[in-house]
A and B are shown apart, each in its own frame.
Chain A
Amino acid sequence: MRVKDRNLEITGQHRHSRGLFLSLCSVILVSVLLAFARPEAVSAHGVGYRRSAKKAIALEFYYSTGETMAYLDARVYSPQDEKNAFQSGRTDEFGRCSFIPTAEGEWRVVVRDEEGHRAEAKIPITSDFLNGGDGNALPAAAESSLPQGADLFIRSLLGVSLIFNIAVFVRLRKCI
């Protein structure tokens, strides 16, 4: 009777260790499978491209001397986030930079060189533009640059005239 009990006890211990061994094996197997499965999953991500049907805003940046602001740091800021750039990169050889707006409001594009020049374009985007409406009808305020032609002449004349007027003012004040 005692021998029989002992045999039963040994059989129970044997079963217990066998179960432990099996569960350990399964854990290792799952781990190995997971380890191998991960890179497979990554490499399974394909890449591709398609032509975007969205309307883009393309801008040209240039110096007052007529030179293009080529290969310079260009950042686009959305109306929702004024601090973190929505897009950042560089202008191309011709000083161009483009982006696709995703929301209504005033978008800002800032191009700066390393000599202290900074050009900032403010582009008001309407829902009409986002919905693919008349995108060419950008407000004139979006274009701000050195005045040209007759406007430049008038401004130059105005400037010189103002300088002499200021001089007269200073002269009069000194006399008083």
Chain B
Amino acid sequence: MHISEGFLSPSALAAGWAIAGAGVAWGLKKMDSDRIVRVSMASSVFFLASLINVKLGPSSTHLSLIGPIGLILGWTSFPAIFTALLLQAVLFQFGGLLVLGANTASMATPAVLAYLVFGAATRSRNLRLASVASFAAGFLAVMTSALLVGLWLALSDPDMMLTAKTIFAVHVPLAVVEGVTTLFMTMFLRRAFPDMLKGVDRL
């Protein structure tokens, strides 16, 4: 999911930083600072999730947990994911510092979208609707992220358009795993900590 340094054109890097900058600023502005521990927890989980390998047939990949982060944090996903990605780049050499903006944009945007589109449905009293919405949030967050990664690559080099399609197809199994993970998480939080699914925005 992380784009490495040296792939993106300067304009794509700049666009990535513009989206990430705006998202982080807006997320910090909307964040309820009394709930910052929750943000740190979610950011830490995202930071560590990249170390958990998932075997998917012949290949293996690592969890992203974009959907769950989005449902728990809402707009604050931007600063949380930005911080986690920054530390992943520095401590684990995942991605890079120049490309941090584009990586934040391609992972935090789907998280916020998952919250905006499916957030209300996951809190619904209708259990079936909540289940479907949770799975869809996890599944679609990964697919949207894959789409954005492909888009960044295609923007930088039109020859990589075919690659963009490949990336999209490759991420389907991970998206299913994340959909199921999000479903379990939502079902647990609905019973144990329903407040956690309301985002951390200031009311």
Contacts and interface: CB of A to CB of B under 8 A. Distances in A.
B153 interface: yes
B6 A118 contact: yes
Given A67-B60, A115-B166, A174-B33, A159 B40 contact: no
Nearest to A162: B87
Contact of B166 (A66, A114, A156): A114
Given A159-B87, A166-B83, A116 B153 contact: yes
B195 to A, nearest CB: 19
B36 interface: yes
Interface stretch (B15-23, B91-99, B115-123, B133-141): B91-99
Given A112-B7, A114-B160, A65 B48 contact: no
Interface in A120-176: 120, 144-147, 152, 155-156, 158-160, 162-164, 166-167, 170-171, 174-175
B91 A171 contact: no
B40 A144 contact: no
A115 B39 contact: no
B93 A115 contact: no
30 contacts: A64-B51, A64-B62, A66-B53, A112-B4, A112-B7, A114-B160, A114-B163, A115-B163, A116-B7, A116-B152, A120-B6, A144-B93, A146-B92, A146-B93, A147-B91, A155-B91, A158-B91, A159-B47, A159-B88, A159-B91, A163-B40, A164-B44, A166-B40, A167-B36, A167-B39, A167-B43, A171-B33, A171-B36, A174-B33, A175-B33
Interface in B27-57: 28, 33, 36-37, 39-40, 43-44, 47-48, 50-51, 53
A16 interface: no
Which residue of B50, B92, B163, B170 has the most chain A CB atoms within 10 A of its CB atom?
B92
Contacts of B51: 64, 152, 156
Interface residues of B, number: 40
A158 B36 CA distance: 19
Given A117-B4, A118-B5, A164 B40 contact: yes
Nearest to A120: B6
A146 B33 CA distance: 34
Contacts of B39: 167
Given A116-B2, A155-B92, A159-B47, 20 more contacts: A64-B62, A66-B53, A67-B59, A112-B6, A115-B149, A115-B167, A116-B153, A118-B4, A119-B4, A145-B93, A146-B93, A156-B47, A159-B84, A159-B87, A159-B91, A160-B44, A163-B83, A164-B44, A167-B37, A170-B36
Nearest to A155: B91
Contacts of A158: 91
Most chain A CB within 10 A, of B3, B43, B88, is at B43
Given A147-B92, A167-B37, A65 B60 contact: yes
Nearest to A167: B40
A119 B93 CA distance: 10
Contacts of B28: 170
